[in-house]
Amino acid sequence: MSRLRIFTEENCAEPLLSTEAPDEIEAELQQIGVRFEQWQAGKPVEAGDAPDIVLDAYRADIDRIVAEKGFRTVDVVSIAPDHPNREEMRRKFLDEHFHKEDEVRFFVDGSGLFTLHVGERVYEIRCEKGDLIGVPDSTLHWFDMGPEPRFVAIRFFTEPDGWVGHFTGSDLAQKFPRYEPGAAG
């Protein structure tokens, strides 16, 4: 299940709020300018399908987002648990950073953990199959794909060549839960 937990910066153990209700997740995130939607495939699609088939299955929603936000490139990325570079890939965005364009990802399959640092609050979002998240540019965040990453995601870019993480040097991310999909809770 998708899940949102909201923490204060000081307390990474006890969330102020924890919800698996999509409407509530969407409403809470909307208050900080973060988009959360759940999409249904318009055609059958499964992990391992060619990118064109994946994109075609979600064409209407993709076109809507592209028209609204002006994205210039849409691609599909797949990561399997036995990926030889999984540790390096996981480490890449584990610390607090921001981008100069929105980070918009749709989970066709699998899951991942986005954590956002907004004001004095920390928003942890477990994204699952069918979830779209749109993190606005300049929003501080980190992303954990877990030790055995497994996801297929559609990514939206304005300037793919300029897709760079600007790291803040904060150690906040290290204090908050990492993504351990097998663990309880």
Nearer to Fe ion, 17 or 89 (CB): 89
CB of 100 to Fe ion, least distance (A): 11
CB of 64 to Fe ion, least distance (A): 23
Task: Compute how many residues bind Fe ion; rule: CB under 5 A.
Answer: 1
CB of 164 to Fe ion, least distance (A): 10
Nearer to Fe ion, 63 or 159 (CB): 159
Binding range to Fe ion, per CB under 5 A, among 8-16, 67-75, 95-103, 113-121: 95-103
Nearer to Fe ion, 34 or 57 (CB): 34
Residues 103-132 contacting Fe ion, CB under 5 A: 103
Nearer to Fe ion, 57 or 156 (CB): 156
Residue nearest to Fe ion (CB): 103
CB of 40 to Fe ion, least distance (A): 26
Binding range to Fe ion, per CB under 5 A, among 47-55, 60-68, 101-109, 110-118: 101-109
Give every CB contact of residue 123 below 8 A, 6+ residues apart in sequence: 4, 5, 6, 7, 28, 29, 32, 34, 115, 116, 117
CB of 167 to Fe ion, least distance (A): 10
CB of 35 to Fe ion, least distance (A): 15
SS3 assignment for the chain: CCEEEEEECCCCCCCCEEECCHHHHHHHHHCCCCEEEECCCCCCCCCCCCHHHHHHHCHHHHHHHHHHHCCCEEEEEEECCCCCCHHHHHHHCCCCEECCCCEEEEEEEEEEEEEEEECCEEEEEEEECCEEEEECCCCEEEEECCCCCCEEEEEEECCHHHCCCEECCCCHHHHCCCCCCCCCC
User: How is residue 81 written in tokens?
Assistant: 């648990």
Binding range to Fe ion, per CB under 5 A, among 9-17, 41-49, 102-110, 151-159: 102-110
- The residues that touch Fe ion, with contacts defined as CB under 5 A, are 103
